[in-house]
Structure 1
Amino acid sequence: VDNSVTNPGGDNGGETVSCATYTLDGATFKGEAEGVNCIYSQAFASNAKEITSSFVIPALDNDGVHVFEGALFIGDDVDTSTGAVIDSDGPTLSIEAGATIAFTKPESFIRVARGANIEAIGEVDKPIVFTSIKEVDGDDSTTAQIGDWGGVQVNGRGHSIRCTAAAAAQDMCNHAAEGIVSYYGGNDPQDSSGILKHIVIKYAGFGVEGDELNGLTLNAVGSGTTIDYVHVHNGFDDGIELFGGSVNLKHIVITDTGDDGIDWDEGWKGYGQFILVRSNEYGNHGFETDGAKVDPLSADAQDLVTTVSNPTIANATVVTTGDQGAEGRRTGAGMEMKEWGKAQLANMLFVNSSSVDGAGCFDLYNEKDQSGDAGVHANANNGDIAFMSSIFACGKNFEDVNTPLTDSLANFDITSWFTGGENNQLIGFADFANVLAADGVSTAATITDSQGTA
């Protein structure tokens, strides 16, 4: 459907502005051209309307912006326990390279239902930008801030520890997502929810009463989904949070979030590669990781479709402030692992410029799992948490143990564990200034290759 509109005499010089349009139940809905921009009222999209038709959001000339006055929900969200069936051939939201999409309200966010898809494929010089209206409205009296809009949420049909194997096999896995109630989970680890590539998400992460939304939330999203070249900036909560699933992350940048850079939970088992997290004085952990909700060795866990989180992460740099942050809050560790979690971690660099009293590079937090056989200290001791070719360069490299270790773990020493790993290195605070600048960049006067040639 052609929704081109010519606005003679406006700010666009009489050029054609093509806004998005779709047909639903015999009615056509379209954005309205206003100058170089397209405006979408709540009749087009809102948190009370699920769009079940595919449509395209085009790139606009002259720095035009697609402005949404409500939420944008793609696909029919269903609870299969009520007898409803997920539409496996649900609609696709396609977004052209170079498009900018802005939201006007904190409670507005993008949600992709199970069975639906988002195809947001930008380019290096034409990324797709999701942002606050305050960044692009040209009004010098308003300034974009964290939490100006909700963020992007994708609900998939992958595994989550919230679901039993029997329920997943019958397509009866329905766990409520954060924000306005919707459902995720299933029995397809390879499920595809589409592609997010060369995108930027800014000033998002909050707005739904009772929940703090993230810049990008991936709920039981399968490995058939592509998440590549994604930058999340100035989010209220986490940059990216993963609840189960096996989706992979690649070329990720997280800057200046209000909570964690990347947070995983509910049994995520994907891969992450080429990641940069930089926190400011408001941020918490670079990585915060939750393994499970119950001890995976307990009777309560034996019928779950999946157990603990166990991703593989490689080539990541995390730069945190380490010391006490803004408004008296204490910033978090570069990475915190807790609740029976596992992970394989290679080529990792954690750095901060804190004093020895600041937060550490790494924290095995055992408040719940304590000295259990499947706890984080036990997992580290037996190789289920392992660092390889990694560097810690913080004022304090390790956080103190939260709950005293007992039994077979009484003599566990985290420093010996880390340095005993393959090609790992600790850099003391006294040597820090001679090796890494506060932003994690090498201060060497001469850069050489592997043969020592400058």
Structure 2
Amino acid sequence: MVSFSRRSKFLLATSATLFLASCGADDVASPGAGSLPITIVQPAPTPTPTGTATPTALTNAQIALATTQSGVTVTADEQVAILNAGQNNNLQGFGNTLNGVYPISGTSLAAASNPQTVLGNTSFIQNTSYVGALSGPNDSAFSGWTCSSTAASFLNSASCTAVPAIGTGGSAAACPAGTTDDGLVQTFRACRLPQQITSDLTLPKIAGVFYRFRGQTEVGDINATTGVTLTIAAGVVLAADSSETSNDLLLVNRGSRLNAVGTADAPIIFTAQQNLASNGVSDATQGLWGGVVLLGRAPTAVCAAGTGPNDANGSSPTCQQAIEGVTGRFYGGTNQADSSGTLQYVQIRYTGIAISEGNELQGLTLGGTGSGTTIDHVQSHNSSDDGVEIFGGATNLKYFVVTGADDDGFDVDNGWRGFMQFIIAAQKASGSTADSFATEIDSNGAEDLLPRTYGRYANFTFVQTNSAPAAIRLRGGADFAFVNGVVKTASGGACVNIIAGAGDGATRTTIRAADSALQDVGPPTFNSVYFQCQGR
């Protein structure tokens, strides 16, 4: 009996022969005896997803840089122990988490803490539910009033190298009272400020007009016998005079005020005259003038010879100190709530002059300015020294961004006591000094001077794009707390560098236990900080 399989093969072969014959293929050769070979190609198997590879964990020495000062060392292990003592910190961050200074997604990189609770401040500090200065890729808090560069690009913000929006009509414009007509620069009317402003002066926004200042331009009397206010309208552009060689800067003496209040759509811009011509500056330009200096009557811990010492309350009526970068201009006093004016929606571009080693002018310098001084929505761009340096006083900062600084982003010392929130430091990609940090915090090498340097940072984003030794340097016995932050460093860069310059064992300054007799609240604290160190 023929099997079913063989019969099926026979019927198939017969049918195929008849079909070919019907097509005129009677002489088609038979394949001959045996079975017809059939090759079956199997599809490639779908690979099993492996997920994102987790890099090798960083060592403590890669996270924290140990520095010996005056024979005292805080080891990397001890520094990491301080970080681990906080809540919600991530010390092993890696991967594609930031697009410049913006988070890639709206999901917080670490579980946020309530900064009001952690820092004990509900009047200045806002509660937030995310870490870093920005909540996500579409956060518009820094849009428009900032300028963009390779250091950091902001949503809907013009390039820092672009000519500011001065407007047209300069040839027909008239300079306001109190200024001098310096003629046309490019197509803009230059209205020069007096070098010594001895009475109240208002600079209105006039289409086609910019305000030029030359040399050391001062507001008020150096002896603080009279109070003078310089008021600047929204959208005004001020430019340092590049037609001569003197060090240009704007300095507000104790007892006087600078009220520069811009808007998100019309920021006030302090820049150099080179910035008024197309291609007059580049992304690498810096150090064209000396920046803005505000001096106040709030306490300082560092007193000039014969004027101190001060105490924890800053109550010494004689303690004062000379400000860096100029000669014979002092800050300090006993008024914690002193006001040196208001800076809101302001850009300060292409600043920084080194007079000598350790004697520099920054983007913004605050000397003994009090809590009555309002500073928010301010950008310091491409300073050849620090973005902002604060010597003593009690001024708080909010929405402050430092881009492209050659040295530190936020440098605080000499007994500054205050709060900062929504702050960004994005360093230049190359060329910055080897000793630069996103923030440098100390007491000028004097570990127990009073008032003790005391600061609180909330919602900060620090991006070190060069090979600086670390992002956060904390030393000199300063008391600090950090909450809701993002710290990212380049390859070779640690995230923190905590230094003690005196003491031994448990008595080492900066990390010792609280001691009210020394106005010391204890070791630094870190909560809800995402650390992405070593270029990971």
> TM-score by structure 1 length?
0.70
Q: Is 2:312 the partner of 1:172?
A: no
Q: Tell me the alpha carbon deviations over residues 403-439 of structure 1, each in whole angstroms, 9 at most, x when there is no partner.
A: xxxxxxxxxxxxxxxxxxxxxxxxxx7xx4xxxxxxx
Output the amino acid matched with 2:420: G
Partners of 1:161 and 1:244 within 8 A in 2: yes
Output the amino acid matched with 1:137: A
Q: Distance in 2 between matches of 1:97 and 1:136?
A: 18
Q: Tell me the alpha carbon deviations over residues 45-77 of structure 1, each in whole angstroms, 9 at most, x when there is no partner.
A: 33xxx3211101222314x42222333210111
Identify the residue that residue 97 of structure 1 maps to in structure 2. 234
Output the amino acid matched with 2:398: K
Partners of 2:445 and 2:501 within 8 A in 1: no
Identify the residue that residue 317 of structure 1 maps to in structure 2. 461
Return the offset for 1:180: 1.6
Partners of 1:135 and 1:144 within 8 A in 2: no
Identify the residue that residue 231 of structure 1 maps to in structure 2. 379
Identify the residue that residue 216 of structure 2 maps to in structure 1. 71
Return the offset for 1:98: 0.4
Output the amino acid matched with 1:155: L
Identify the residue that residue 291 of structure 1 maps to in structure 2. 443
- Structure 2 residue corresponding to 1:267, chosen from 415, 428, 446: 415
Partners of 1:106 and 1:147 within 8 A in 2: no
- CA RMSD between the two structures: 2.8
Q: Distance in 2 between matches of 1:169 and 1:390?
A: 36
Identify the residue that residue 258 of structure 1 maps to in structure 2. 406
Output the amino acid matched with 2:396: N
Specify whether residues 385 and 134 from structure 1 end up closer, same or farther in structure 2 by C-alpha distance, changes over 3 A only.
same
Identify the residue that residue 255 of structure 2 maps to in structure 1. 115
Partners of 1:322 and 1:360 within 8 A in 2: no
Return the offset for 1:174: 2.6
Output the amino acid matched with 1:58: P
Specify whether residues 250 and 110 from structure 1 end up closer, same or farther in structure 2 by C-alpha distance, changes over 3 A only.
same
Output the amino acid matched with 2:248: S
Q: Distance in 2 between matches of 1:278 and 1:133?
A: 25
Q: Tell me the alpha carbon deviations over residues 185-217 of structure 1, each in whole angstroms, 9 at most, x when there is no partner.
A: 000110000000000011001154562111000
Return the offset for 1:168: 6.5
Identify the residue that residue 392 of structure 1 maps to in structure 2. 531
Identify the residue that residue 507 of structure 2 maps to in structure 1. 373
The residue correspondences of 1:124-135 to structure 2 (distance < 5 A) are: 124-135=264-275
- Structure 2 residue corresponding to 1:190, chosen from 337, 351, 354: 337
Specify whether residues 124 and 367 from structure 1 end up closer, same or farther in structure 2 by C-alpha distance, changes over 3 A only.
same
User: Per the alignment, in what secondary structure is the counterpart of residue 227 of structure 2?
Assistant: coil
User: Per the alignment, in what secondary structure is the counterpart of residue 417 of structure 2?
Assistant: coil
Question: Any unmatched runs of 5+ in structure 2?
Answer: 1-166, 304-308, 515-519
Q: Distance in 2 between matches of 1:69 and 1:143?
A: 24
Output the amino acid matched with 2:498: L
User: Per the alignment, in what secondary structure is the counterpart of residue 463 of structure 2?
Assistant: strand
Output the amino acid matched with 1:34: L
Partners of 1:106 and 1:149 within 8 A in 2: no
Identify the residue that residue 56 of structure 1 maps to in structure 2. 202
- Identity among equivalent pairs (%): 31
Q: Distance in 2 between matches of 1:169 and 1:375?
A: 24
- Structure 2 residue corresponding to 1:204, chosen from 351, 366, 379: 351
Return the offset for 1:369: 5.7
Q: Distance in 2 between matches of 1:392 and 1:253?
A: 19
Output the amino acid matched with 1:377: I
Partners of 2:487 and 2:533 within 8 A in 1: yes
Return the offset for 1:338: 0.8
Identify the residue that residue 30 of structure 1 maps to in structure 2. 180
Moved more, 207-216 or 153-162: 207-216
Q: Tell me the alpha carbon deviations over residues 299-319 of structure 1, each in whole angstroms, 9 at most, x when there is no partner.
A: xx4xxxx33211111000100
Question: Any unmatched runs of 5+ in structure 1?
Answer: 1-10, 23-28, 79-85, 324-330, 396-428, 433-454
Q: Is 2:295 the partner of 1:151?
A: no
Output the amino acid matched with 2:460: A
Identify the residue that residue 340 of structure 1 maps to in structure 2. 477
User: Per the alignment, in what secondary structure is the counterpart of residue 511 of structure 2?
Assistant: helix
Partners of 1:207 and 1:213 within 8 A in 2: yes
Specify whether residues 321 and 170 from structure 1 end up closer, same or farther in structure 2 by C-alpha distance, changes over 3 A only.
closer
Partners of 1:257 and 1:282 within 8 A in 2: no
Partners of 2:191 and 2:210 within 8 A in 1: no
Q: Distance in 1 between matches of 2:469 and 2:229?
A: 38
Output the amino acid matched with 2:190: I
User: Per the alignment, in what secondary structure is the counterpart of residue 65 of structure 1?
Assistant: strand
Identify the residue that residue 437 of structure 1 maps to in structure 2. none
The answer to which structure, 1 or 2, has the higher relative contact order (CA under 8 A, 6+ apart) is: 2
Output the amino acid matched with 2:349: K
Return the offset for 1:142: 8.8
Identify the residue that residue 45 of structure 1 maps to in structure 2. 194
Partners of 1:230 and 1:252 within 8 A in 2: yes
Output the amino acid matched with 1:102: A
Return the offset for 1:373: 2.1
Moved more, 188-197 or 172-181: 172-181
Partners of 1:118 and 1:193 within 8 A in 2: yes
Q: Distance in 1 between matches of 2:322 and 2:426?
A: 30
Partners of 2:502 and 2:508 within 8 A in 1: no
Q: Tell me the alpha carbon deviations over residues 102-124 of structure 1, each in whole angstroms, 9 at most, x when there is no partner.
A: 10256110100000000000000
Compare CA radii of gyration and give the structure with the larger one: 2
Q: Is 2:483 the partner of 1:352?
A: no
Specify whether residues 65 and 376 from structure 1 end up closer, same or farther in structure 2 by C-alpha distance, changes over 3 A only.
same
Q: Is 2:427 the partner of 1:308?
A: no
User: Per the alignment, in what secondary structure is the counterpart of residue 259 of structure 1?
Assistant: coil
Q: Distance in 1 between matches of 2:280 and 2:395?
A: 40
